[in-house]
Amino acid sequence: MDEDDFEGTTVLEQLAAIGKVEDFFDAVDSDDVNKATSLMKKAGIDAATIAVVIRKMQEADGQH
């Protein structure tokens, strides 16, 4: 997956399917990369998309 093609909605839809959107946002807000990664893996999100999300989290560096 190319970062230009990134669609955050897909990530949220997959997290919603397992009831983990709130937990995911908590992980993002606390910059907990391990927790965010774990939740995305549980939601069946592919590794390339997870990498984009993690990169975006790190780039934000507390600016969310």
More confident site: 43 or 61: 43
pTM here?
0.83
Q: Return phi, psi of residue 49, to 5°.
A: -70, -40
Residue 64 has pLDDT above 60, yes or no: no
For the chain, domain boundaries: 3-60
pLDDT digits (tens, 9 = 90+) for 1-48: 455 555 678 899 999 999 999 999 999 999 999 999 999 999 999 999
Spell out the residues 6+ positions from residue 22 whose beta carbon is closer than 8 angstroms to its own. none
pLDDT in the model for residue 10: 87
